[in-house]
Structure 1
């Protein structure tokens, strides 16, 4: 599942927040993100384990393993593999990717959710995608004010 949203703020700043300062997102989007803590490793480093408390219908949690971080000249990509938490009750695997393209003054944030359902009755994570887009809008609003 892939969705994109255009932002006016600097794409590099947006990417840096998710890579190096995700623990600041709770002040930018407190309705959705209640806290982000480092479980193991270092902020922004491949192999780090990050614990997220978030509200998606109810208070949820996820432990996310920073699987990869690729920085190219105009394209930035992060792969985060959910290894534990509420999502794993529904999905065998779940990977979130946030991708920021910065071309001239246009910045596009693209979210990709890759998942394998535990069974056919599990819904596609449409509402979780909307959640990701709303957090993106909240970060945007924080940086434009």
Structure 2
């Protein structure tokens, strides 16, 4: 069993894919109002919203426990509507040497797919893959979709 891993989940949404991308790029601090069961806060610690190199801190609930993740925005690609965040501090680093989250939106006609990509390196072989995060990202996506559809 290797220490490096990658998990991917795609969620089809009915709301506009650009809205989803712009939310995570410019106003991730609004996510807590759309999915308060999962995200309790998002604060800018350094830089500017939507700027590579900026540092943001998420307060979230996972497996019934309050957690934090301090992330640096590693990449933003407007054409591909993707954002890459690397965890630099937080609860998840108790188990992982590195943890990167990619959020990508594809549109094909009326179909919009949100893809979450988790890339990680475990601290040791006994650490389980973070599959328990997959339902969290699915619910988060659906909560954001429902918020956007209710405000059309």
Q: TM-score, normalised by structure 1?
A: 0.97
1 CA distance for matches of 2:55 and 2:100? 14
**What secondary structure is seen at the aligned counterpart in 2 of 1:126?**
coil
Question: Corresponding residue for 2:47?
Answer: 41
1 CA distance for matches of 2:86 and 2:123? 16
Q: Does 1:103 align with 2:103?
A: no
Shift of 1:137: 0.6
Following superposition, which runs of at least 4 residues in structure 1 exceed 4 angstroms of deviation?
none
1 CA distance for matches of 2:148 and 2:97? 36
Q: C-alpha root-mean-square deviation of aligned residues, in Å?
A: 0.7
Q: Does 1:82 align with 2:87?
A: yes
1 CA distance for matches of 2:127 and 2:73? 25
Q: TM-score, normalised by structure 2?
A: 0.92
2 CA distance for matches of 1:99 and 1:39? 23
Flag structure 2 segments of 5+ consecutive residues without an equivalent. 1-6
Shift of 1:104: 1.5
State the aligned residue count.
143
Q: Which residue, 15, 18, 26 being the options, matches 2:24? A: 18
Q: Which residue, 101, 114, 118 being the options, matches 2:119? A: 114
